[in-house]
A and B are shown apart, each in its own frame.
Chain A
Amino acid sequence: MNMNQTALESHPQSAFDPASIRADFPILALRPNGKPLVYLDNAASSQMPQQVIDRLVRYQSTQHANIHRAVHTLSEIATAEYEEARRKLARFINAREEREVIFTSGTTDAINLAMHGFGRKFIGAGDEIILTTLEHHSNIVPWQMLAEEEGAKIRVVPVNDAGELLIDEYEGLFSERTRLVGVTHVSNALGSVNPVKRMIAFAHARGVPVLVDGAQAAPHMPVDVQDLDCDFYAFSGHKLCGPTGIGVLYGKAALLERMQPFKGGGDMILSVTFEKTTYNVIPQKFEAGTPPIAAAIGLGAAVDYLCGIGIDTIAAHERALLAYATAKLARMPGVRIIGTAADKAAVLSFALEGVHPHDVGTLLNQDGIAVRTGHHCAQPVMQRFKVPATTRASFAFYNTLAEVDALAAGIANVQKVFR
């Protein structure tokens, strides 16, 4: 306790006080294993504020019906609310038009849609796709499947020891056959923020479109797809304080219009006969079947909530958390921080000398601290840094400096057990 009090006194000032909003998150009051929950697994999934929970309840209890179909009042309300959510998401990423926002089940689904809709139509034998070492498996495997199917090749941008992409090498990978670049905005395993705007400009100068995996960026920094000029931007709702089962693929309208549908079914058609089906316009062309209406509306409410706090405020507070945590862990003997990029989001991956991450995770859990241990669905990153797995603490705006202290104390306890 004394140690914590001392540490509290030395806390740097953050303009934003998370205490003011922590009460919005009922789950943060839980006491797993009899200890206050210290939730540091936000890169895997973030928690949901009461405002979003209430919105889901209101939709389900007073507004639910299927959308884009019937003429009855409830269907009209549900349709209007669903499309309003699309407008909110379009504004959130500053899309030029609402129809550029396609609701998917998440980032993985969004990238698979781009692979089937764009990749299958425009990438063929001998063509090349540029990806990076920092990609999550969800931005590797779909393209590998395509490459295998079509006889295309995958070229990979390497990283330096800090976990930063080697941009010279990236530029050297382009050839006449490059058809697409897929790059993560923020590395889920290391937190590195990639210079995507610059990478996109370079690709565009060679006529190559770019897909950005924004799953780890959208919750933590302002995203402006027009400023980035990306061709696709994919992200998930559940990492944005929204529900699971909902995500977004942003695509430039001209590109989406040239793409083929991924899934066939209702809602994505204009007319169907057994001789010929005419596809609907975007975005409906890519939203076959009944979508997760409640989840989309919930995500709209989540975006409202985050914008109410302010994305810049969130980013600044998370920077303060990262700086404090990095300094604190760097001082601990036996702790090796993996991923030390100059530009980082609030993700802290580390290895503890002599202790396997799974043992770290189990013992931290005993102290109520939730972290992720494993390869983070980014095995190429683990191979690059020659570790089988890491322990990853990932922060959200509702985390506090005192929780960083709890993490440090938890790590010290793990070291004591394994002394």
Chain B
Amino acid sequence: MTGSNSLYQEVILDHNRKPRNYGTLEQASHHANGHNPLCGDHLSLALNLDGERIAAIAFEGESCAICKASASMMTTNVKGKTRQEAETLVQEFRDMATGQLDTEKQAHHLGRLTVFAGVRDLPTRVKCAILPWHTLHAALHSVADTSTESESDPMHAPIGDA
């Protein structure tokens, strides 16, 4: 069975239906826009750093359920974490989605984010799940815009054609 069955789990459908931290921040210290030109998904992410800690985070945009749920769960997971802890999650999430991290055999900090592990079997959907994390990485580095197709995107990797 491919990952599509296991992918559309209730937790993902729930975050798609009722995305957490959805909206904008009045005064954001960091923000970035993420865009996947291949499918038209886009989201804008704003966050406030209190020292090294992410005090507040919000996103909005238009995207598929996988992307929206990934963004929603990302915000709940990184809120209150330090920049370094968030970057670790970015890296681990990306490795999980591209099949480089086996969450059942290797140590990680992803917790419930492992519900997205199924995208590794759906090469055309990997980018949907990763886009919010690309955007978080860009925001933390104060890159105003990122794209899953951008050469300058530090997270850019050839991971299938959406």
- In the complex, what residues of A have CB within 8 A of residue B5's CB? 366
Q: Bound state CA distance, A365 and B124, in angstroms?
A: 12
Q: A356-B65, A389-B39 are in contact. Are A362 and B13 (CB under 8 A)?
A: no
B40 touches A362 (CB 8 A): no
B57 within 8 A of A: no
A388 touches B40 (CB 8 A): yes
Which of A33, A355, A366 meets B65, CB within 8 Å? A355
| Interchain nearest-CB distance for B8 vs A (Å) | 6
A15 within 8 A of B: no
| Interchain nearest-CB distance for A382 vs B (Å) | 7
Question: Which of the listed residues A356, A357, A366, A373 has the most CB atoms from chain B within 10 Å of its own CB?
Answer: A356
B66 within 8 A of A: yes
A31 within 8 A of B: no
Q: A389-B40, A417-B13 are in contact. Are A363 and B125 (CB under 8 A)?
A: no
B152 within 8 A of A: no
| Interchain nearest-CB distance for B130 vs A (Å) | 14
Mark interface residues in A322-348 (1 if CB within 8 Å of B CB, else 0): 000000000000000000000000000
B140 within 8 A of A: no
Which of B1, B16, B39 meets A358, CB within 8 Å? B39
- In the complex, what residues of A have CB within 8 A of residue B162's CB? 358, 374
Q: Bound state CA distance, A218 and B122, in angstroms?
A: 33
Q: Bound state CA distance, A140 and B57, in angstroms?
A: 41
Q: A33-B1, A356-B64, A388-B62 are in contact. Are A362 and B125 (CB under 8 A)?
A: yes
Q: A388-B41, A389-B40, A418-B13 are in contact. Are A363 and B8 (CB under 8 A)?
A: yes
B38 within 8 A of A: yes
A-B contact pairs, 5 of them (CB 8 A): A362-B122, A362-B125, A365-B4, A366-B5, A375-B40
Q: Which of A294-315 contact B (CB under 8 A)?
A: none
For B128, give the chain A residue with the smallest CB separation: A358
Q: Which of B1-15 contact A (CB under 8 A)?
A: 1-2, 4-5, 7-8, 13
Number of interface residues of A (CB under 8 A): 19
Which of A355, A388, A417 meets B39, CB within 8 Å? A388
For A32, give the chain B residue with the smallest CB separation: B2
Query: Which 4 residue pairs spanning A and B have beta carbons closest together?
Result: A388-B40, A356-B64, A358-B64, A366-B4
Given contacts A359-B66, A362-B122, 6 further A-B pairs with CB under 8 A are A33-B1, A356-B65, A359-B65, A373-B39, A374-B40, A418-B65
Q: Bound state CA distance, A34 and B5, in angstroms?
A: 13
Q: Bound state CA distance, A366 and B4, in angstroms?
A: 7
Chain A residues with CB under 8 Å of chain B are: 33-34, 355-359, 362-363, 365-366, 373-375, 382, 388-389, 417-418
- In the complex, what residues of A have CB within 8 A of residue B39's CB? 358, 373-375, 388-389
| Interchain nearest-CB distance for B2 vs A (Å) | 6
Q: Bound state CA distance, A333 and B65, in angstroms?
A: 20
| Interchain nearest-CB distance for A146 vs B (Å) | 23
Main secondary structure of the interface of A (DSSP, over half): helix
A366 touches B2 (CB 8 A): yes
Q: A363-B8, A374-B38 are in contact. Are A358 and B66 (CB under 8 A)?
A: yes
Q: A366-B2, A374-B38, A389-B39 are in contact. Are A356 and B63 (CB under 8 A)?
A: yes
- In the complex, what residues of B have CB within 8 A of residue A373's CB? 39
| Interchain nearest-CB distance for B117 vs A (Å) | 15
Question: Which of the listed residues B13, B40, B41, B66 has the most CB atoms from chain A within 10 Å of its own CB?
Answer: B40
Question: Which of the listed residues A359, A365, A388 has the most CB atoms from chain B within 10 Å of its own CB?
Answer: A359
Mark interface residues in B33-59 (1 if CB within 8 Å of A CB, else 0): 000001111000000000000000000
B4 touches A362 (CB 8 A): yes
- In the complex, what residues of A have CB within 8 A of residue B4's CB? 33, 362-363, 365-366
- In the complex, what residues of A have CB within 8 A of residue B128's CB? 358
| Interchain nearest-CB distance for B12 vs A (Å) | 10
Which of A359, A375, A382, A417 meets B64, CB within 8 Å? A359
Q: Bound state CA distance, A418 and B7, in angstroms?
A: 13
Q: Bound state CA distance, A388 and B39, in angstroms?
A: 7
Q: Bound state CA distance, A214 and B131, in angstroms?
A: 36
- In the complex, what residues of A have CB within 8 A of residue B41's CB? 388
For B68, give the chain A residue with the smallest CB separation: A356
Q: Bound state CA distance, A366 and B2, in angstroms?
A: 8
Question: Which of the listed residues B4, B66, B122, B125 has the most CB atoms from chain A within 10 Å of its own CB?
Answer: B4
- In the complex, what residues of A have CB within 8 A of residue B65's CB? 355-356, 359, 418
- In the complex, what residues of A have CB within 8 A of residue B125's CB? 358, 362
For A367, give the chain B residue with the smallest CB separation: B4
